[in-house]
A and B are shown apart, each in its own frame.
Chain A
Amino acid sequence: MLDANHPMVVQTTSHIWDGDIQEFNNLPPRGWWRAFYATVVFSVFYWIVHPAWPFGGDYYTKGILNKIEYQSQGVTVYAHWNTRALLLHTLQQQDGAAGRKEYLEKITAASPREIVADVELMAFSRSLAKRLFGDNCVSCHGNNVANASFGGAWFAGGIGLEGFQQTIENGIGAGSRGGWVMPAWKNRLSVPEIKALAVYASQLSSARTEPTDKK
């Protein structure tokens, strides 16, 4: 019964079950233990640099040598590695974050009319608003007058850029609890997001039937 590929002398354990089931007692293939130890070493390393082990009562190891830097209220914080600090770090310091922040600040400062007038700002504004419109507005207003399912009246236009901005901010009938028609977005979206959406929506309304939703 010996295997030509494994010349090492192996014997069965001399037990027989159900008439013919026997067991050899080969060693695990060479390298198996080494690879297993490697995963253990990797894990130990991982535990050192991440929050890992709870130790009695209220304490758990936080991890060392793996600090994450972020700004909070103008102060630089160095936190132990954790997913929430990592998010702040990404939002604040990844490539392009500074440029994006600058654009957002410009939009916050500008009036909708100024945004429209500034080609560069307008390009950013449109990029910001397009996805927001898709996730937040399309399910009522459609992306053109033909498929506005819930609130088609807005395509009539005539309320001007500021009108759009105010409507998005405050909604329609938002005072009457539960009875509102359009929700107020000022607590859900940031100021630049609302302005960008106002500009986007007004242009959509003047274009009337131009489909913008990439299908």
Chain B
Amino acid sequence: MKHEWIETHTSHFLILTLLVISIGGLVEIVPLFLIKNTVETVAGVRPYTPLELLGSNIYQREGCYLCHSQMIRPLQEEWLRYGHYSLAAESQFDHPFLWGARRIGPDLARVGGKYSNTWHIQHITAPRSLVSRSRMPNYLWLKDRPLQYSDIEAHLRALVRAGVPYSENQEQYDKNVALFGKDVANRLVISRARENLLAQVAGNADGNVVSPTEMDALVAYLQILGTLVDFKKYDEGYFARFR
């Protein structure tokens, strides 16, 4: 029997199995990097500012993604409840993606701008004071814990290596100006990361710049979610043409 040739030689078996396992992944993953339509062409999506980035890290650290999705599906009920479906482009700077797979709480893909900063702070600290039957834990410590941002430049440089366009030099800066406009490009300069971070904290509700807290970062991150694309600029069928 032919199969004996495989199973009597352990090395044949190992190599053949590895080959067979690899095929599915290759066919399904590699084209996602090659097919241009995968990530939609759309204006407005930019990398996170230093403060938002650290906010996203806290979002990940506390496992928020386990109960909240950030992926509005192209379904009628979600269109009515959450708004425009999420685009691949909207998470193109998320390393990793935070789409989630379970909604114990509601989807957060477009939560930015929905509530005031003070609401978020109270809700994160004591959810049941606002939503009586909420199943969310109280995150009491976030508003007291000072934000660790001394190594923010190292974070941004790591992301540059993963492909996010933070700028280290004039050439990269000019590129960002062309891509995102001057205001955004200024916020993506690595050497200015700390001052940008503090400036953004100053715009927050409590105005306490002296010691930015983890809450400042988390709320800044939540407030940007889903707000970067202006869907009014695109006709109904525009994003369908990328699928």
Contact = CB atoms under 8 A, between A and B. Distances in A.
Q: Do A and B touch directly, given a CB cutoff of 8 Å in the complex?
A: yes
Interface of A: 51, 54, 57-60, 70-73, 77, 79, 82-88, 90-91, 94, 131, 135-136, 138-140, 147, 149-150, 177-183, 187-188
B182 to A, nearest CB: 18
A177 B113 CA distance: 11
5 contacts: A73-B236, A84-B239, A88-B236, A147-B132, A177-B203
A77 B243 CA distance: 14
A183 B114 contact: yes
B143 interface: no
Interface of B: 27, 31, 34-37, 73-76, 79, 81, 83, 85, 106, 110, 113-119, 122-123, 129-132, 203-205, 223, 235-243
Contacts of A136: 114
Contact of B81 (A135, A139, A149, A150): A135
Given A54-B35, A135-B81, A136-B114, A84 B74 contact: yes
Contacts of B118: 181
Given A60-B31, A182-B116, A91 B243 contact: no
Contacts of A180: 116
Contact of B116 (A58, A131, A183): A183
A36 to B, nearest CB: 17
B17 to A, nearest CB: 20
Chain A CB within 10 Å, residue with most, of B31, B110, B204, B240: B240
B114 A57 contact: no
Contacts of A85: 237, 240, 243
